[in-house]
Amino acid sequence: AARRGSGSGSGGAVAPKAKAATYDYDLVIIGCGVGGHGAALHAVEQGLKVAIVEGHDIGGTCVNRGCVPSKALLAASGRVREMQDAMHLQAMGIQVGAVSFDRQGVADHAADLASKIQGNLKNSLVALGCDILTGVGKFVDSHTVSYGLPGRVDVGGQVTARDVIIATGSVPFVPPGIPIDGKTVFTSDHALKLEWLPDWVAIIGSGYIGLEFSDVYTALGSEVTFIEAMDKIMPGFDGEIAKLAQRVLINPRPIDFRTGVLATKVVPGIPGVKPVQIHLTDFETKEEVDVLEVDACLVATGRVPYTQGLGLPALGVETDRRGFVPVDEKMRVLDKDGKVVEHVYCIGDANGKYMLAHAASAQGISAVENICSRPHVLNHLSIPAACFTHPEVSFVGLTEEQAREKGESEGFEVDVVKTSFKANSKALAELEGEGMAKAVFRKDTGEILGVWIFGLHAADLIHEASNAIATGQTIQDLKFNVHAHPTLSEVLDELFKAAHVEAPSKVPVTA
Protein backbone atom coordinates (compact mmCIF):
# COMPACT_ATOMS: atom_id res chain seq x y z
CA ALA A 1 0.00 0.00 0.00
CA ALA A 2 1.16 3.50 -0.77
CA ARG A 3 2.02 5.76 2.13
CA ARG A 4 2.04 9.49 2.67
CA GLY A 5 4.07 10.86 5.53
CA SER A 6 5.09 14.29 6.64
CA GLY A 7 7.92 15.62 4.52
CA SER A 8 11.02 17.37 5.71
CA GLY A 9 10.78 19.90 2.86
CA SER A 10 9.75 23.52 3.05
CA GLY A 11 6.07 22.75 2.89
CA GLY A 12 5.84 20.51 5.97
CA ALA A 13 3.27 17.72 6.06
CA VAL A 14 1.76 16.50 2.81
CA ALA A 15 -1.98 16.88 2.58
CA PRO A 16 -3.49 13.50 1.64
CA LYS A 17 -5.92 13.65 -1.25
CA ALA A 18 -7.37 10.17 -1.04
CA LYS A 19 -7.03 6.92 0.79
CA ALA A 20 -3.41 6.03 0.16
CA ALA A 21 -4.07 2.28 0.24
CA THR A 22 -6.01 2.62 -3.04
CA TYR A 23 -2.81 2.76 -5.06
CA ASP A 24 0.52 0.93 -5.29
CA TYR A 25 2.37 4.24 -5.18
CA ASP A 26 1.73 7.87 -4.45
CA LEU A 27 3.68 8.85 -7.56
CA VAL A 28 4.92 7.04 -10.64
CA ILE A 29 7.37 8.85 -12.91
CA ILE A 30 7.76 7.67 -16.51
CA GLY A 31 11.37 8.37 -17.44
CA CYS A 32 14.48 8.86 -15.34
CA GLY A 33 16.48 11.61 -16.92
CA VAL A 34 17.52 14.67 -14.95
CA GLY A 35 13.89 15.81 -14.78
CA GLY A 36 12.49 12.50 -13.52
CA HIS A 37 15.35 12.12 -11.07
CA GLY A 38 14.84 15.62 -9.66
CA ALA A 39 11.12 15.04 -9.29
CA ALA A 40 11.69 11.70 -7.57
CA LEU A 41 14.13 13.11 -5.02
CA HIS A 42 11.80 15.96 -4.13
CA ALA A 43 8.80 13.64 -3.90
CA VAL A 44 10.58 11.23 -1.56
CA GLU A 45 11.63 14.19 0.58
CA GLN A 46 7.95 15.10 0.87
CA GLY A 47 7.12 11.62 2.18
CA LEU A 48 5.68 10.15 -1.01
CA LYS A 49 6.14 6.55 -2.07
CA VAL A 50 7.70 6.78 -5.54
CA ALA A 51 8.46 4.48 -8.45
CA ILE A 52 10.30 5.35 -11.64
CA VAL A 53 9.64 3.51 -14.91
CA GLU A 54 12.74 3.60 -17.12
CA GLY A 55 13.25 1.58 -20.28
CA HIS A 56 16.73 2.76 -21.19
CA ASP A 57 19.46 4.46 -19.14
CA ILE A 58 19.16 6.09 -15.73
CA GLY A 59 20.09 9.72 -16.28
CA GLY A 60 18.55 9.99 -19.74
CA THR A 61 20.01 12.07 -22.53
CA CYS A 62 21.87 14.58 -20.35
CA VAL A 63 23.93 12.08 -18.41
CA ASN A 64 24.46 9.46 -21.10
CA ARG A 65 24.31 11.24 -24.47
CA GLY A 66 24.30 14.98 -23.76
CA CYS A 67 25.45 17.57 -21.27
CA VAL A 68 27.67 15.36 -19.11
CA PRO A 69 29.85 13.51 -21.65
CA SER A 70 30.04 16.61 -23.87
CA LYS A 71 31.55 18.57 -20.98
CA ALA A 72 34.20 15.88 -20.63
CA LEU A 73 35.10 16.24 -24.32
CA LEU A 74 35.14 20.03 -23.98
CA ALA A 75 37.35 19.83 -20.89
CA ALA A 76 39.91 17.58 -22.57
CA SER A 77 39.91 19.38 -25.92
CA GLY A 78 40.02 22.73 -24.12
CA ARG A 79 43.22 21.71 -22.35
CA VAL A 80 44.71 20.73 -25.71
CA ARG A 81 43.75 24.12 -27.20
CA GLU A 82 45.22 25.96 -24.21
CA MET A 83 48.51 24.08 -24.28
CA GLN A 84 48.86 24.54 -28.03
CA ASP A 85 48.47 28.32 -27.70
CA ALA A 86 52.20 29.03 -27.36
CA MET A 87 51.85 32.82 -27.55
CA HIS A 88 49.32 32.87 -24.71
CA LEU A 89 51.52 30.70 -22.50
CA GLN A 90 54.71 32.60 -23.33
CA ALA A 91 53.02 35.83 -22.23
CA MET A 92 52.89 34.28 -18.74
CA GLY A 93 56.44 32.99 -18.93
CA ILE A 94 55.47 29.41 -19.71
CA GLN A 95 57.10 27.33 -22.43
CA VAL A 96 55.84 23.94 -23.55
CA GLY A 97 56.97 21.45 -26.12
CA ALA A 98 54.87 19.63 -28.66
CA VAL A 99 51.42 18.78 -27.37
CA SER A 100 49.78 15.51 -28.34
CA PHE A 101 46.65 13.64 -27.28
CA ASP A 102 45.16 10.19 -27.45
CA ARG A 103 41.77 10.24 -29.17
CA GLN A 104 40.62 7.06 -27.45
CA GLY A 105 41.75 8.38 -24.09
CA VAL A 106 39.66 11.52 -24.60
CA ALA A 107 36.68 9.39 -25.64
CA ASP A 108 37.14 7.11 -22.63
CA HIS A 109 37.13 10.14 -20.31
CA ALA A 110 33.67 11.09 -21.61
CA ALA A 111 32.32 7.54 -21.40
CA ASP A 112 33.72 6.98 -17.90
CA LEU A 113 32.20 10.22 -16.62
CA ALA A 114 28.77 9.32 -18.02
CA SER A 115 28.97 5.87 -16.41
CA LYS A 116 30.02 7.31 -13.07
CA ILE A 117 27.25 9.92 -12.95
CA GLN A 118 24.67 7.35 -14.06
CA GLY A 119 25.72 5.10 -11.19
CA ASN A 120 25.54 7.98 -8.74
CA LEU A 121 21.99 8.81 -9.81
CA LYS A 122 20.83 5.21 -9.54
CA ASN A 123 22.42 4.78 -6.13
CA SER A 124 20.81 7.95 -4.83
CA LEU A 125 17.36 6.71 -5.84
CA VAL A 126 17.89 3.26 -4.34
CA ALA A 127 19.24 4.74 -1.10
CA LEU A 128 16.08 6.83 -0.71
CA GLY A 129 13.79 3.85 -1.24
CA CYS A 130 12.59 4.80 -4.70
CA ASP A 131 11.61 1.75 -6.76
CA ILE A 132 13.06 1.50 -10.29
CA LEU A 133 10.81 -0.44 -12.66
CA THR A 134 12.54 -1.53 -15.86
CA GLY A 135 10.51 -1.03 -19.01
CA VAL A 136 8.82 1.43 -21.33
CA GLY A 137 5.82 3.03 -19.66
CA LYS A 138 2.35 3.31 -21.19
CA PHE A 139 -0.89 4.67 -19.75
CA VAL A 140 -3.80 2.33 -19.21
CA ASP A 141 -5.72 5.15 -17.54
CA SER A 142 -4.82 8.25 -15.54
CA HIS A 143 -3.86 6.18 -12.48
CA THR A 144 -2.49 3.02 -14.13
CA VAL A 145 0.78 2.52 -16.01
CA SER A 146 1.91 -0.66 -17.72
CA TYR A 147 5.58 -1.24 -18.49
CA GLY A 148 7.76 -3.72 -20.31
CA LEU A 149 10.45 -4.23 -22.92
CA PRO A 150 9.95 -5.60 -26.46
CA GLY A 151 10.77 -9.30 -26.64
CA ARG A 152 11.30 -9.59 -22.88
CA VAL A 153 8.91 -11.65 -20.77
CA ASP A 154 11.07 -11.46 -17.65
CA VAL A 155 10.43 -7.77 -17.06
CA GLY A 156 7.26 -5.73 -16.99
CA GLY A 157 4.00 -5.39 -15.21
CA GLN A 158 1.37 -2.86 -14.25
CA VAL A 159 1.24 -0.41 -11.34
CA THR A 160 -1.19 2.17 -10.04
CA ALA A 161 -0.48 5.57 -8.57
CA ARG A 162 -2.35 8.56 -7.24
CA ASP A 163 -0.35 10.82 -9.57
CA VAL A 164 1.81 10.23 -12.64
CA ILE A 165 4.53 12.43 -14.12
CA ILE A 166 5.64 12.06 -17.75
CA ALA A 167 9.39 12.74 -18.04
CA THR A 168 10.34 10.91 -21.23
CA GLY A 169 12.70 13.54 -22.64
CA SER A 170 13.70 13.94 -26.28
CA VAL A 171 15.81 12.56 -29.12
CA PRO A 172 17.87 14.33 -31.82
CA PHE A 173 15.83 15.79 -34.67
CA VAL A 174 16.96 14.68 -38.11
CA PRO A 175 15.47 16.64 -41.06
CA PRO A 176 14.03 14.74 -44.04
CA GLY A 177 16.56 13.71 -46.67
CA ILE A 178 19.37 13.03 -44.20
CA PRO A 179 20.11 9.33 -43.62
CA ILE A 180 22.09 8.66 -40.44
CA ASP A 181 24.77 5.98 -40.76
CA GLY A 182 26.41 6.72 -37.41
CA LYS A 183 29.87 6.92 -39.00
CA THR A 184 30.04 9.70 -41.59
CA VAL A 185 26.60 11.21 -41.01
CA PHE A 186 25.66 11.31 -37.37
CA THR A 187 23.92 13.11 -34.52
CA SER A 188 25.36 14.25 -31.20
CA ASP A 189 24.56 10.78 -29.81
CA HIS A 190 27.24 9.30 -32.09
CA ALA A 191 29.63 12.27 -31.98
CA LEU A 192 30.05 11.95 -28.22
CA LYS A 193 31.71 8.56 -28.72
CA LEU A 194 34.51 10.31 -30.67
CA GLU A 195 35.19 7.13 -32.65
CA TRP A 196 37.26 9.07 -35.20
CA LEU A 197 38.40 12.60 -35.99
CA PRO A 198 37.45 13.67 -39.52
CA ASP A 199 39.70 16.24 -41.21
CA TRP A 200 36.67 18.27 -42.32
CA VAL A 201 33.33 18.21 -40.53
CA ALA A 202 30.16 19.94 -41.69
CA ILE A 203 27.82 20.82 -38.83
CA ILE A 204 24.19 21.40 -39.73
CA GLY A 205 22.91 23.97 -37.21
CA SER A 206 24.80 26.64 -35.25
CA GLY A 207 23.02 26.45 -31.90
CA TYR A 208 24.45 25.24 -28.58
CA ILE A 209 25.15 21.69 -29.77
CA GLY A 210 26.83 22.73 -33.01
CA LEU A 211 28.95 25.41 -31.35
CA GLU A 212 30.18 23.11 -28.61
CA PHE A 213 31.18 20.40 -31.08
CA SER A 214 32.93 22.96 -33.27
CA ASP A 215 34.97 23.85 -30.19
CA VAL A 216 35.91 20.20 -29.63
CA TYR A 217 36.67 19.37 -33.26
CA THR A 218 38.81 22.43 -34.01
CA ALA A 219 40.81 21.98 -30.79
CA LEU A 220 41.59 18.41 -31.87
CA GLY A 221 42.64 19.39 -35.39
CA SER A 222 39.53 19.24 -37.57
CA GLU A 223 38.18 21.94 -39.89
CA VAL A 224 34.50 22.83 -39.57
CA THR A 225 31.83 24.25 -41.87
CA PHE A 226 28.54 25.40 -40.37
CA ILE A 227 25.37 25.07 -42.43
CA GLU A 228 22.70 27.38 -41.03
CA ALA A 229 19.16 27.88 -42.39
CA MET A 230 18.77 31.34 -40.87
CA ASP A 231 20.42 34.42 -42.39
CA LYS A 232 23.00 34.68 -39.60
CA ILE A 233 25.05 32.31 -37.50
CA MET A 234 23.97 31.68 -33.88
CA PRO A 235 20.43 32.97 -34.63
CA GLY A 236 19.06 32.31 -31.14
CA PHE A 237 21.65 34.49 -29.41
CA ASP A 238 21.47 38.15 -28.53
CA GLY A 239 22.69 39.94 -31.66
CA GLU A 240 25.56 41.80 -30.05
CA ILE A 241 26.76 38.74 -28.15
CA ALA A 242 26.58 36.65 -31.33
CA LYS A 243 28.80 39.13 -33.19
CA LEU A 244 31.42 39.05 -30.45
CA ALA A 245 31.21 35.26 -30.18
CA GLN A 246 31.70 35.00 -33.94
CA ARG A 247 34.79 37.20 -33.73
CA VAL A 248 36.30 35.03 -30.97
CA LEU A 249 34.92 31.52 -31.52
CA ILE A 250 34.57 31.37 -35.32
CA ASN A 251 36.77 33.80 -37.25
CA PRO A 252 40.22 32.92 -35.76
CA ARG A 253 39.59 29.19 -35.99
CA PRO A 254 39.47 26.84 -39.02
CA ILE A 255 35.72 27.40 -39.31
CA ASP A 256 33.64 28.77 -42.16
CA PHE A 257 29.88 28.94 -42.51
CA ARG A 258 27.06 29.01 -45.01
CA THR A 259 23.92 30.85 -43.91
CA GLY A 260 20.47 31.02 -45.49
CA VAL A 261 20.75 27.48 -46.85
CA LEU A 262 19.19 24.12 -46.09
CA ALA A 263 20.86 20.72 -46.31
CA THR A 264 18.10 19.10 -48.35
CA LYS A 265 19.99 15.96 -49.27
CA VAL A 266 22.95 14.22 -47.65
CA VAL A 267 24.71 11.18 -49.12
CA PRO A 268 26.83 9.27 -46.54
CA GLY A 269 30.42 8.43 -47.39
CA ILE A 270 33.08 5.97 -46.30
CA PRO A 271 35.71 7.19 -43.79
CA GLY A 272 38.97 7.87 -45.59
CA VAL A 273 37.61 6.56 -48.89
CA LYS A 274 34.51 8.41 -50.08
CA PRO A 275 33.37 11.91 -49.02
CA VAL A 276 29.96 12.85 -47.70
CA GLN A 277 27.91 14.86 -50.21
CA ILE A 278 25.69 17.64 -48.87
CA HIS A 279 23.27 19.30 -51.26
CA LEU A 280 22.55 22.90 -50.23
CA THR A 281 19.29 24.64 -51.13
CA ASP A 282 18.62 28.36 -50.80
CA PHE A 283 16.22 28.95 -47.89
CA GLU A 284 14.24 31.59 -49.82
CA THR A 285 14.22 30.39 -53.44
CA LYS A 286 14.31 26.66 -52.65
CA GLU A 287 16.82 26.20 -55.48
CA GLU A 288 19.89 24.02 -55.10
CA VAL A 289 22.94 26.29 -54.91
CA ASP A 290 25.89 24.03 -54.08
CA VAL A 291 27.10 20.56 -53.22
CA LEU A 292 29.66 20.24 -50.41
CA GLU A 293 32.00 17.27 -50.15
CA VAL A 294 33.28 16.74 -46.61
CA ASP A 295 34.66 13.89 -44.53
CA ALA A 296 31.76 13.83 -42.06
CA CYS A 297 28.50 15.57 -41.25
CA LEU A 298 27.13 16.24 -37.75
CA VAL A 299 23.39 16.91 -37.68
CA ALA A 300 22.78 19.39 -34.85
CA THR A 301 19.32 20.66 -35.75
CA GLY A 302 17.73 20.47 -32.33
CA ARG A 303 15.69 17.83 -30.58
CA VAL A 304 12.15 16.44 -30.69
CA PRO A 305 10.12 15.01 -27.78
CA TYR A 306 10.09 11.28 -27.14
CA THR A 307 6.36 10.90 -26.55
CA GLN A 308 5.24 8.20 -28.98
CA GLY A 309 3.85 5.02 -27.46
CA LEU A 310 2.84 6.59 -24.14
CA GLY A 311 -0.81 5.64 -24.63
CA LEU A 312 -1.93 9.27 -24.40
CA PRO A 313 -5.21 8.58 -26.30
CA ALA A 314 -6.32 6.60 -23.23
CA LEU A 315 -6.32 9.95 -21.40
CA GLY A 316 -7.97 11.89 -24.22
CA VAL A 317 -4.67 13.69 -24.83
CA GLU A 318 -3.20 14.64 -28.19
CA THR A 319 0.34 15.95 -28.73
CA ASP A 320 0.88 18.99 -30.93
CA ARG A 321 2.28 18.62 -34.45
CA ARG A 322 5.84 18.46 -33.09
CA GLY A 323 4.97 15.77 -30.53
CA PHE A 324 4.95 17.91 -27.37
CA VAL A 325 2.48 17.09 -24.60
CA PRO A 326 0.33 20.16 -23.80
CA VAL A 327 0.50 21.34 -20.18
CA ASP A 328 -0.64 24.32 -18.14
CA GLU A 329 1.57 26.53 -15.97
CA LYS A 330 1.45 23.97 -13.15
CA MET A 331 2.74 21.19 -15.46
CA ARG A 332 -0.68 19.51 -15.50
CA VAL A 333 -1.42 17.69 -18.76
CA LEU A 334 -4.24 19.09 -20.89
CA ASP A 335 -6.60 16.97 -22.99
CA LYS A 336 -7.54 17.68 -26.59
CA ASP A 337 -10.20 20.14 -25.40
CA GLY A 338 -7.71 22.07 -23.29
CA LYS A 339 -9.04 20.73 -19.98
CA VAL A 340 -6.78 19.52 -17.17
CA VAL A 341 -6.29 15.75 -16.92
CA GLU A 342 -6.35 15.36 -13.15
CA HIS A 343 -3.34 13.67 -11.52
CA VAL A 344 -1.22 13.57 -14.72
CA TYR A 345 1.76 15.90 -15.19
CA CYS A 346 4.43 16.32 -17.85
CA ILE A 347 7.88 17.87 -17.39
CA GLY A 348 11.06 18.52 -19.34
CA ASP A 349 11.67 18.14 -23.06
CA ALA A 350 8.42 16.23 -23.48
CA ASN A 351 6.37 19.40 -22.90
CA GLY A 352 8.60 21.72 -24.93
CA LYS A 353 8.49 24.69 -22.55
CA TYR A 354 12.26 24.90 -22.14
CA MET A 355 14.41 22.05 -23.43
CA LEU A 356 17.22 22.08 -20.87
CA ALA A 357 18.09 19.45 -18.26
CA HIS A 358 17.97 21.80 -15.29
CA ALA A 359 14.68 23.23 -16.54
CA ALA A 360 13.27 19.70 -16.49
CA SER A 361 14.44 19.22 -12.91
CA ALA A 362 12.91 22.55 -11.86
CA GLN A 363 9.63 21.61 -13.56
CA GLY A 364 9.69 18.26 -11.77
CA ILE A 365 10.06 19.94 -8.39
CA SER A 366 7.27 22.36 -9.32
CA ALA A 367 4.98 19.48 -10.32
CA VAL A 368 5.63 17.70 -7.01
CA GLU A 369 4.82 20.89 -5.11
CA ASN A 370 1.48 21.05 -6.93
CA ILE A 371 0.85 17.35 -6.26
CA CYS A 372 1.38 18.11 -2.57
CA SER A 373 -1.30 20.83 -2.64
CA ARG A 374 1.23 23.67 -2.53
CA PRO A 375 0.46 25.69 -5.68
CA HIS A 376 3.65 26.53 -7.55
CA VAL A 377 4.38 28.15 -10.90
CA LEU A 378 7.91 28.14 -12.32
CA ASN A 379 9.14 31.36 -13.92
CA HIS A 380 10.83 30.07 -17.07
CA LEU A 381 12.39 33.47 -17.75
CA SER A 382 14.50 32.92 -14.63
CA ILE A 383 16.09 29.72 -15.94
CA PRO A 384 19.71 30.24 -17.06
CA ALA A 385 21.31 28.64 -20.09
CA ALA A 386 24.91 28.20 -21.17
CA CYS A 387 27.03 27.18 -24.13
CA PHE A 388 30.29 25.64 -22.92
CA THR A 389 32.64 26.85 -25.62
CA HIS A 390 36.03 28.42 -24.82
CA PRO A 391 35.20 31.05 -23.70
CA GLU A 392 31.62 30.36 -22.61
CA VAL A 393 28.30 32.02 -23.42
CA SER A 394 25.52 32.24 -20.83
CA PHE A 395 22.24 34.06 -20.50
CA VAL A 396 18.98 34.34 -18.66
CA GLY A 397 15.75 35.95 -19.86
CA LEU A 398 15.34 37.87 -23.11
CA THR A 399 17.70 39.10 -25.80
CA GLU A 400 17.95 42.86 -26.27
CA GLU A 401 15.92 42.50 -29.46
CA GLN A 402 13.15 40.56 -27.70
CA ALA A 403 13.10 43.01 -24.78
CA ARG A 404 12.78 46.06 -27.03
CA GLU A 405 9.96 44.39 -28.94
CA LYS A 406 8.22 43.65 -25.63
CA GLY A 407 8.73 47.23 -24.44
CA GLU A 408 7.30 48.64 -27.63
CA SER A 409 4.21 46.44 -27.46
CA GLU A 410 3.60 47.01 -23.73
CA GLY A 411 4.56 50.67 -23.59
CA PHE A 412 7.70 50.83 -21.44
CA GLU A 413 11.25 52.00 -22.08
CA VAL A 414 14.09 49.48 -22.21
CA ASP A 415 17.64 50.32 -21.23
CA VAL A 416 20.89 48.38 -21.63
CA VAL A 417 24.18 48.45 -19.71
CA LYS A 418 27.39 46.68 -20.66
CA THR A 419 30.78 45.94 -19.18
CA SER A 420 33.94 44.29 -20.45
CA PHE A 421 36.14 41.51 -19.12
CA LYS A 422 39.09 43.67 -20.19
CA ALA A 423 38.59 45.78 -17.05
CA ASN A 424 38.51 42.77 -14.70
CA SER A 425 41.69 42.05 -12.72
CA LYS A 426 41.12 38.28 -12.50
CA ALA A 427 40.46 37.96 -16.23
CA LEU A 428 43.60 39.97 -16.98
CA ALA A 429 45.63 37.78 -14.61
CA GLU A 430 44.50 34.81 -16.73
CA LEU A 431 45.16 36.79 -19.93
CA GLU A 432 41.52 36.12 -20.80
CA GLY A 433 40.17 39.64 -21.18
CA GLU A 434 38.08 38.83 -24.26
CA GLY A 435 34.41 39.08 -23.33
CA MET A 436 31.51 41.22 -22.20
CA ALA A 437 28.38 41.20 -20.09
CA LYS A 438 25.18 43.09 -20.77
CA ALA A 439 21.97 43.59 -18.83
CA VAL A 440 18.63 44.55 -20.33
CA PHE A 441 16.08 46.11 -17.96
CA ARG A 442 13.02 48.31 -17.65
CA LYS A 443 14.03 51.93 -17.30
CA ASP A 444 11.02 52.80 -15.13
CA THR A 445 11.07 49.93 -12.61
CA GLY A 446 14.48 48.27 -12.87
CA GLU A 447 12.92 44.90 -13.68
CA ILE A 448 15.64 42.67 -15.13
CA LEU A 449 14.54 41.43 -18.55
CA GLY A 450 17.70 39.64 -19.58
CA VAL A 451 21.41 39.24 -18.85
CA TRP A 452 23.99 37.91 -21.33
CA ILE A 453 27.62 37.04 -20.61
CA PHE A 454 30.38 36.02 -23.02
CA GLY A 455 33.73 35.31 -21.44
CA LEU A 456 35.76 33.22 -19.03
CA HIS A 457 33.51 31.05 -16.81
CA ALA A 458 30.37 32.80 -18.05
CA ALA A 459 28.32 29.69 -17.23
CA ASP A 460 29.21 30.03 -13.55
CA LEU A 461 28.64 33.78 -13.41
CA ILE A 462 25.07 33.87 -14.73
CA HIS A 463 23.41 32.56 -11.56
CA GLU A 464 23.51 35.82 -9.66
CA ALA A 465 21.31 37.28 -12.39
CA SER A 466 19.03 34.25 -12.80
CA ASN A 467 18.41 33.98 -9.07
CA ALA A 468 17.69 37.71 -8.92
CA ILE A 469 15.01 37.29 -11.57
CA ALA A 470 13.60 34.23 -9.78
CA THR A 471 13.29 36.12 -6.49
CA GLY A 472 11.94 39.31 -8.02
CA GLN A 473 14.95 41.52 -7.35
CA THR A 474 15.43 44.61 -9.51
CA ILE A 475 18.69 45.74 -11.01
CA GLN A 476 19.00 48.52 -8.43
CA ASP A 477 18.67 45.94 -5.61
CA LEU A 478 21.77 44.19 -6.95
CA LYS A 479 23.91 47.33 -6.69
CA PHE A 480 24.31 46.66 -2.98
CA ASN A 481 25.67 43.12 -3.41
CA VAL A 482 29.30 42.69 -2.36
CA HIS A 483 31.70 40.67 -4.51
CA ALA A 484 35.10 39.33 -3.49
CA HIS A 485 38.10 40.99 -5.10
CA PRO A 486 39.70 40.08 -7.38
CA THR A 487 37.16 37.70 -8.92
CA LEU A 488 35.34 37.34 -12.22
CA SER A 489 32.09 38.04 -10.36
CA GLU A 490 33.10 41.70 -10.33
CA VAL A 491 32.17 41.80 -14.02
CA LEU A 492 28.55 41.60 -12.88
CA ASP A 493 29.21 43.96 -9.98
CA GLU A 494 30.33 46.65 -12.42
CA LEU A 495 27.43 45.80 -14.74
CA PHE A 496 24.73 46.29 -12.12
CA LYS A 497 26.33 49.44 -10.71
CA ALA A 498 26.29 50.98 -14.19
CA ALA A 499 22.50 50.78 -14.45
CA HIS A 500 20.44 53.94 -13.92
CA VAL A 501 16.76 53.50 -13.11
CA GLU A 502 14.01 56.09 -12.70
CA ALA A 503 12.56 54.25 -9.69
CA PRO A 504 14.32 54.96 -6.39
CA SER A 505 16.68 52.35 -4.95
CA LYS A 506 15.82 50.50 -1.82
CA VAL A 507 17.80 51.57 1.25
CA PRO A 508 20.19 48.75 2.23
CA VAL A 509 19.69 47.18 5.64
CA THR A 510 22.46 48.05 8.10
CA ALA A 511 23.67 45.72 10.82
Provide the total of helices (H) and of strands (E) in the chain, helices listed first. Answer: 14, 23
Q: Could you give the CA distance from residue 391 to residue 211 in angstroms, rounded to a whole number?
A: 11
A 10 A CB-CB count for 280 gives 19
Cα dist from 233 to 210, 239, 347, whole Å: 11, 10, 30
Chain centroid, CA 150 distance in Å = 30
Q: Could you give the CA distance from residue 95 to residue 219 in angstroms, rounded to a whole number?
A: 19
A 10 A CB-CB count for 337 gives 7
Query: Which of 190, 457, 485, 500 is the catalytic position?
Result: 485
Backbone φ and ψ for 489, nearest 5 degrees, come out as: -60, -20
Element housing 255 (H / E): strand 255-259
Residue 485 is among the residues annotated as catalytic for this protein: yes
Backbone φ and ψ for 93, nearest 5 degrees, come out as: 80, 20
Is residue 174 within 8 A of residue 180, CB to CB? The reply is yes
| DSSP at 382 | G
Where are the alpha helices (H) located in 399-480, listed in sequence order? 400-410, 425-429, 458-461, 463-470
Tell me which residues are annotated as active site.
Answer: 485
